[in-house]
Structure 1
Amino acid sequence: MIPVSSHSPLRTVQVLGGGDAVGSAHVRSLAAGLVARGVRVTVCAPREADHTYDFTGVGADHVHVPRSSDPGSVAVLRAACTGADLVHAHGLHASLRTVLALSGRRTPLIVTWHDRAHADGPRAHFLRVLERRVVKAATVVLGTTSVLVDRARRTGARDARLAAASLPGARTSPAPDDPDRLRPKVRAELGAVERPLLIAVGSLERHRGYDVLLDAVHAWRCLDPVPLVVLAGEGPLRGELRRRIEDEGLPVRLIGRRDDITDLLAAADIALLPSRWESRSPLAQEALHARVPLVATAVGGTPELVGDAAELVPYGDARAFADAVVRLLGDPERREALRERGVRQAATWPTEDETVAQVLSVYDELTQPRPL
């Protein structure tokens, strides 16, 4: 159902902080689907986010809203939300600014949690305070995993629901064009022509668990040939990780941020996800789509996402992680079984159309006149 009034199309405002790639890609996909269904969409996000994700290119209007550190951001956002039928904010900081911008107004507010904020110590307590303020002000909170939905309910949400969340632009075929040519080329570039290639992708931050991964690498240095681990991503821990790799002589390469993750996965023997927390990991989804066996930590939304299509181990247990990798490398039948399970599991995930349809149903519910 397209939630439009008899006089004019529904007008929605989508609010982004601009720093979350998953949330930004989701909003672009959502904006495209909404516009195609006759909804007017305004995306409030930093200018650089529009440059990267091209919200205007899919038919949405874009309003530059500075990042949360800018004191003028709330005023700009309040003006942009004037006249909107509903506002949909994505992520904690964008949601907090939206709550402030809508103060005193009765505009319905939907908040989507794509992930949770990562912090330790006093900052973690501060973020929990912000979460409580946001979820209590939101009309509906959508969580992309059951864990996030439960967290929102515990925090005080009036209405928290599981969101259909697709991986925008995900491949539906199991392999890229001409994989027989591409695979050896990528492996040669990375230095893994005659050795197993293990791929991890993600920002080089503490919660990614790369310190544990480097501990695990010690356990398979005795294999012949020695597997090569490739970490694709950038972040504040790059220097620390590089020093460990050099000092300990680990068979690990840091290759920085890459735009060819699909090609890297197509060349890999195993994908690695050692995180302390994940919601709906793009790497896990891409790996299963690409028929690449996955070893991951059983945290956050990962067990719900992958089912029995991956090897799951406790977070922080380097020995268990290493043992799972070594077992897979020595068991081609198990690797093939995981590939087949991965294809079946990926087929159960929501499509982009299904994601848009669910959001539209929520919009319809919140904007239709209620009977007296």
Structure 2
Amino acid sequence: MSEHRYIGRDMPRPDAPAKAAGKAEYIHDVSRPGMLYGKIKFSEHAHARIVSIDTSKAERLPGVRAVITAQNTPEVRIGFLRDNFALKRDKVRQFRDEVAAVAAIDPHIAAEAIELIDVEYEPLPAVFDPRDALQPDAPLIHERGPDGSARTHNLLGLTFQHESGDLDAAREQARHVVSGEFTTPRIQQCCMGTAGCIAEFDPTGNLTLWAKTQIPFLAQKDYNSALRDMGLAGRRARVIVPALGGGFGSGLDTHAYEYIAILLAHRAGCPVKIVYDRDEEFAYLSPRQCTRIKVTQGCDAEGRLLFRDLDVLLDNGAYTSWGATYPGVMMLAATSLYRVPSVRFDTRIVYTNNTYCQAMRGYGTPEITWPIESNLDELAQAAGIDA
């Protein structure tokens, strides 16, 4: 048998020597000539109307080079369903919504300037439980959809459903039936390297973005879309991904802070760097989806599975990311791995005033597998089978 070229051999990682020697450049290490530092003013309310934003004190602070709000910048629409904006104009829908930003000659001045921005809010009723958000009298998170059409409820239009076999007949035939309800919480990806980017325009108006992304080419399309929103049609975005201190799904979306860096760099005429510290990342970066899953399974007297019935309620938060497609992966796990003649899978994805959620490693598989397996243990116990 011929000796394999790759199988059974240690394959050196091309990035390992630089990382082991401490020479790899992460986003925190990257610097550009004339670079400014950006900071963001976040909402202190989960749901409120923006009455006014006064940036005059921040603008007068020595060392500040740019101050932006939705009132003095183009409207840049972002998100998986385009239901979010880089800077919020009339309303905030979650604690952490971005309402203003500054660029200054050092991070300390930028942080001081943020504290000088005064925002007046009119608080609105908020809803944090997706079950409450489905009620007819629940406050609307979005009065209009991305296409401008009026919304009358908080249910997303994304549909993930599956039904096979005859569930009702299988339920009648089942000797043992066990039901349960399971919840999974929000979890931060908690990468060693926190979120950050650098935006820089060249003299021709083209953009280079150093971004901590896992999807450079999809991100490039999103940044090009932002350039069009900014009136820079024909200009192009280039994406450079430095060494990553982890991603775990947090880089599967583009984020508001990246677009804010782009807006600041365009306004200031200088490169702008925004990097979150650990506290900011925990407070202002999106976590894993929060779920509530009802499971009912049944078997015959010999322990053969006859049916599986799953109802998934997903807390989407205030805006939509790729994390809202979790149920597509959940559905695959729910309808495979075991031979089950009859399966029903249904999902409701709901807007709330919680921080919007995004992808995380496993992408829905841990969330659906844990309830199914836990319920199977109880079903086995009911059937007198050693689980």
Give me the TM-score of the superposition, normalised by structure 2.
0.26
Structure with higher RCO (Cα < 8 A, 6+ apart): 2
Which has a greater percent of helix?
1
Give me the TM-score of the superposition, normalised by structure 1.
0.27
Which has a greater percent of strand?
2
Larger Rg computed on CA atoms: 2
